[in-house]
Amino acid sequence: MKRNRRVKILATLGPASSDEAMIRKLFDAGADVFRINMSHTEHDAMRELVRRIRNVEASVGRPIGILADLQGPKLRVGKFKDGKVDLAPGDIITLDDNPEPGDATRVYLPHPDILESVRPGHRLLIDDGRLHLVALECDGRSIRCMVVAGTRISDKKGVSLPDTLLTSGALTDKDRRDLDAVLAENVDWLALSFIQRPEDLAEARKLSRGRVGLLSKIEKPQAVERLDEIIEMSDAIMVARGDLGVEMPLEQVPGIQKRITRAARRAGKPVVVATQMLESMITAPVPTRAEVSDVSIAVFEGADAVMLSAESAAGQYPVEAVATMDRIAVEVEKDPLYSGIIFAQRPTAEPTGADAVSLAARQIAETLKVAAIVTYTGSGASGLRMSRERPQIPILPLSPIESTVRRLSLGWGLHCIISEDAKDMEDMVDKACRLAVEHGFAQPGERIIVTAGVPLGTPGATNMIRIAYVGSDGAHAA
């Protein structure tokens, strides 16, 4: 199936979209990658979802990516004697290590690392910022706070810490169990929540041993401050605007989104824009005009993918939400301004042979108006380098490795194809021409560009460009 857009759509699965027939409908509507949220999915349910996605993949004959999203450290207060208490600005409440039910003066905080890390003047945002506290006194076992804004706190509400760098890592015991389970199912991407620093990726990197791509969700101010380092340690990035909008002033989020998107593009790492993109479609068959503009901005900015959360997982119109996002992306990419904006934001090529080849391939392709760029890749790095160039023509990465093409399904403009390794140079060019024709990207008489590493099969050694004519039989014309 050939998409008519370059940006990818990532759809979250859930109660509204967990059966195989619905997953197929979402794929047909435009979903390229499916997200499994491990915050709400038990291991058996996750395994069944993976099986259903792979069944759909087999039936459509196209690689489909799967992203497992780890919950991360969920910081919550304890319980109250009456389930909730009313507060007012200026009131004093203490968060402490006493597990007894709370009242209007204190509440249990079952996170020793918070009690040890918060300092006077730090903000504590409860229940997605509905209650705003500021720390007055801290002794390692309790935090005496003053209410700045908000009027109520109730059982098990979440705690956000925009000013505090926690000593604990990004993986909880639950995350480690979930990580083992999803690795056993050969998922393609692992999303890490509440990353604060590049070191937070080290444990996941060690445990996964290269079997899955690591996607860092940028949702904390501390992560924004060390953005370039986190991008360098990650395989992909997500602009997780939900928690980012809680921990940072809302008016700063659009600028941060652009900063993250451009930084990831410079690094050649896929970047996903997520959260509340078509939020009203949870309950309505059409989005608001503002939501359409929001999705359009992400596409204009050159994001690799845009994501649906509750819209496809629990909404009343999951297929319509995917189809709407697909239509928006297609129209944006047709806009006369689109190519100019994408071209203006192209990053400078890195001083490596592989990047020079990708840059040259894009320039030759656009000068000669070729039909497609076909790149042979083992690890997927060559495909992502070509995607980084944002060429105006389709990119067809070919790889014999199933996990590689599935992982590349997140990348901008990539139509990934599983193909056996070429035997020699002529076989390589013939395969490229035939597959470009079979998948609807080239016609006899047109030209394509082929990039590869010579000697063939050498990983990480893209060093060759070939201009090839497609013959009348679909193979290379000498």
Q: Which CATH architecture has domain 353-477?
A: 3-Layer(aba) Sandwich (3.40)
**Hey, is 469 helix, strand or coil?**
strand
Residue 250's contacts (CB-CB under 8 Å, 6 or more residues apart) are none
Tell me, rounded to whole angstroms, the distance of Cα 122 from its chain centroid. 30
Can you give the residue ranges of every domain in the chain?
A: 8-72+170-334, 84-160, 353-477
Tokens of 102: 């709370």
**Helix, strand, or coil here: 118?**
coil
35 is catalytic: yes
pLDDT of residue 459: 65
217 is catalytic: yes
- Distance (Å, rounded) from C-alpha 69 to C-alpha 190? 6
Number of helices (H), then strands (E), belonging to the chain: the values are 17, 22
Q: What is the mean pLDDT of the segment spanning 295-313? A: 97
Sign of CA dihedral 306, 44, 402, 192: positive
Torsion of CA 350, 355, 358, 364, to 10 degrees: 60
Task: Say if domain 84-160 classifies as CATH 2.40.33.10.
Answer: yes
Q: Could you give the CA distance from residue 135 to residue 159 in angstroms, rounded to a whole number?
A: 13
Q: Which of 261, 275, 404, 451 is catalytic?
A: 275
Does the predicted TM-score (pTM) go above 0.85?
yes
Residues 365-421: pLDDT tens digits? Answer: 999 999 999 999 998 999 999 999 999 999 999 999 999 999 999 999 999 999 988
The residues near 125 (Cβ < 8 Å, ≥ 6 apart) are 131, 132, 133, 159, 160, 161, 162, 246, 247
pLDDT given at position 341 = 92
Domain 8-72+170-334, second-level architecture: Alpha-Beta Barrel (3.20)
pLDDT band at 190 (very low <50, low <70, confident <90, very high): very high
Q: Match 């599983």 to its residue by tokens.
A: 418
123, 217, 269, 447: which is the annotated catalytic residue? 217
**Catalytically annotated residue among 24, 25, 76, 266:** 76
Per the residue annotation, which of 6, 35, 269, 390 is the catalytic one?
Answer: 35
152-154 vs 159-160, strand pairing mode: unpaired
Half-sphere exposure of 216 (CA within 13 A, CB side): 30
What are the beta bridge partners of residue 34?
11, 66
Residue 440: left (phi > 0), alpha (psi -120 to 50), or beta? left
pLDDT for 477 beyond 80: no
What percent of the chain is modeled with pLDDT above 90?
88
What confidence tier does 423 reach under pLDDT thresholds 50, 70, 90? confident
Q: What is the pLDDT of residue 11?
A: 98
Alpha helix ranges (H) inside 78-128: 112-117
> Is residue 152 flagged as an active site residue?
no
**How far apart, in Å, are the Cα atoms of 158 and each of 35, 80, 421?**
23, 14, 51
User: What is the tens place of the pLDDT at every residue in 306-345?
Assistant: 999 999 999 999 999 999 999 999 999 999 999 999 988 8
Range 354-371 average pLDDT? 93
pLDDT value of position 463: 83
Q: Is pLDDT of 243 > 60?
A: yes
pLDDT tens track for 96-123: 999 999 999 999 999 999 999 999 999 9
